[in-house]
Structure 1
């Protein structure tokens, strides 16, 4: 009987996996491929928990395969490199984000927008070119083609820097791509969660005037005094929303729960841009009036290509941008995911994989 590609992989690995749509994670022994000529193998030190991980472990997007090992905010130290690897050596600190493969042939890949490649390979639960499925960073080690491995800046912390591989590039890329990165520009950030709080920091590092929009008035002090936003608006308060009508050059909408976006269009100047990076369950209803009368744009953005992601890490290191995190052992992941759903984290959980995975498996 022919073996599956997963069983043919000879390198034993350990991680935490969901087995079904309950989303409950537990220890799993699995296998990874040998190090190919262009591959980098590294020991996982830290891995952030993203809300997208929860979508996938519960198959809420209808595209998960089980067992599913999440994790796409991964940092570690290199233990082996293939003979054709050019820029990375053993002992280097590296990161891997949402992507571990693409076709390298299409227009998107040629333009360094690998995240939009029709054949992209996601870090977790995605069919790879050899017929196996990928396993993410809630595991002891990773192996990945060099092109998708990021060099880690020396002065960027590994733990609080890990979430930048998703939250950081998700906020950095649209600011750059849509020209919302010029000092003095006025930008709004909708939602003050895992992505939103990093978006505020990135925008301030660009020298922007930042207005936070939130439905939680209790976050005002945090936004203004801790994250150093310039303004805070309770988006449920019509009077406060009226004050900022027609004043902003752009808005980054990070919210993944259902909400109206026409009020956000109304705060934009003519030719302003509303960039959606969250994934609400329901489709938006958009009023044509503010779009047509103000020449406004509604666009979407998904992470960034490898060039942009490396640029973002270097920018973050230069300007001291990191995520606000709570470090946890890996056997706490199920509780952490429950807390994320209750918005009970400021603002990102990061798993101390290296110091907790082996202990968890032996207990």
Structure 2
């Protein structure tokens, strides 16, 4: 039978989140149920709850897509997970599984559209919408649940399910390795993990930031170099330097300036998302045979690969652990860039919203 769980959600776009109750479906033959231990807070959660992507598809809407928990029940046909396993769920919980992209292990690019962990029509429950990780428990298909290595701090691992894979996937795709020169634009939730992942891959890493305020923090995270771009001088001094530029900011940047920093056949890839236009200078692209690319998060197999890689290299997010009652304050602080570098909600606090 479906069960009711405590959660935090939005009844109206742009309004504060409140304690709510949502139903979780019965566990089907190929489903797993997990009690949520931790859930990261991502800027995309704020965009959805705030109405940046349009009206709420359902009310209440429970955000949260960086989920780590323990399996408490499995369906009769489940083979990937057992009760007691430490597991994770990221941005999506289903896809068509039949299109060319899904068959290539790139379910995030499903040609029929993947099913988001919250706010999407739920193919398992016609007429219902998925609800996310700001809650006590969740049910999802086993194929979209990944194993979290026990050696990882589960709270610090939660942001890896979105932010971690969002930077790992393009770094792998464009060949970050020893001898590669990688620049990371921005040092927020995505950027700090971009630095850690690129360093773990053996790359020489430079952080590009508009001011010098984060120099010490960047070097402490493992960056080899730090360059200030606010006055424009770095674009000249570092022209034709980088193999990969990983842009992690969610605001427009000057593409001609940044593209000019790419060396022969270098690639600038956008991992951060902005809805504002960023004109591309085609001539700058043609010079040095440069490329400009975009990247979403990652496929399920990639996400598992990333978690295993993180465990081997000791990569986790730098977090601030909060209670469910503090989610609205966390949203305000994220918008004010007042977090280093990711908020994570303690799943135990959903049971008592006043705790």
Task: Report the TM range for the smaller structure's normalisation.
Answer: over 0.9
Which of 16, 21, 25 is 1:33 aligned to?
25
Q: What SS does structure 2 have at the residue aligned with 1:232?
A: strand
**Is 1:47 paired with 2:39?**
yes
State how 1:3-82 maps to structure 2 within 5 Å.
Answer: 10-62=2-54, 64-65=56-57, 66-82=59-75
Q: Which moved more, 1:147-156 or 1:237-246?
A: 237-246
| 1:4-58 superposed Cα distances (whole Å, 9 cap, x missing partner) | xxxxx72112100011112410011121110000000000010000000000001
Q: Which residue does 2:171 correspond to in 1?
A: 175
State the distance in 1 between where 2:230 and 2:211 align.
9
Which of 208, 213, 218 is 1:218 aligned to?
213
State the distance in 1 between where 2:243 and 2:49 align.
37
Q: Which residue does 1:6 correspond to in 2?
A: none
Task: Output the aligned Cα RMSD.
Answer: 1.2
Residues 159 and 53 from structure 1, CA distance in 2 versus in 1: closer, same or farther, beyond 3 angstroms? same
Q: Which residue does 2:159 correspond to in 1?
A: 163
Q: What TM-score do the two structures reach when normalised by structure 2?
A: 0.97
Alignment gaps of 5+ in structure 2: none
State how 1:180-329 maps to structure 2 within 5 Å.
Answer: 181-224=176-219, 226-329=220-323
Which of 68, 75, 83 is 2:76 aligned to?
83
Q: What SS does structure 2 have at the residue aligned with 1:359?
A: coil
Q: State the Cα distance separating 1:241 from its structure 2 match.
A: 2.4
Q: State the Cα distance separating 1:228 from its structure 2 match.
A: 1.6
Alignment gaps of 5+ in structure 1: 1-8
Contact kept in structure 1, 2:324 and 2:345, CA below 8 Å? yes
State the distance in 2 between where 1:161 and 1:310 align.
12
How many equivalent pairs are there? 351
Q: Which residue does 2:128 correspond to in 1?
A: 132
State the distance in 2 between where 1:143 and 1:10 align.
10
Contact kept in structure 2, 1:71 and 1:138, CA below 8 Å? yes
Q: State the Cα distance separating 1:359 from its structure 2 match.
A: 2.1
Contact kept in structure 2, 1:200 and 1:227, CA below 8 Å? yes
**Is 1:141 paired with 2:134?**
no
State the distance in 1 between where 2:14 and 2:276 align.
22
Q: State the Cα distance separating 1:63 from its structure 2 match.
A: 6.0
State the distance in 1 between where 2:241 and 2:56 align.
42
Contact kept in structure 2, 1:234 and 1:241, CA below 8 Å? no
State the distance in 2 between where 1:119 and 1:131 align.
17
Q: State the Cα distance separating 1:153 from its structure 2 match.
A: 0.5
Q: What SS does structure 2 have at the residue aligned with 1:281?
A: coil
Contact kept in structure 1, 2:12 and 2:56, CA below 8 Å? no
Q: State the Cα distance separating 1:324 from its structure 2 match.
A: 0.4
State the distance in 1 between where 2:88 and 2:45 align.
17
State the distance in 1 between where 2:255 and 2:186 align.
13
Which of 96, 106, 116 is 1:113 aligned to?
106
State the distance in 1 between where 2:133 and 2:307 align.
19
Q: Which moved more, 1:118-127 or 1:234-243?
A: 234-243
Contact kept in structure 2, 1:188 and 1:250, CA below 8 Å? yes
| 1:184-208 superposed Cα distances (whole Å, 9 cap, x missing partner) | 1001000000000000000000000
Q: Which moved more, 1:258-267 or 1:36-45?
A: 258-267
Q: State the Cα distance separating 1:64 from its structure 2 match.
A: 3.4
State how 1:324-343 maps to structure 2 within 5 Å.
Answer: 324-343=318-337
Q: What SS does structure 1 have at the residue aligned with 2:93?
A: strand
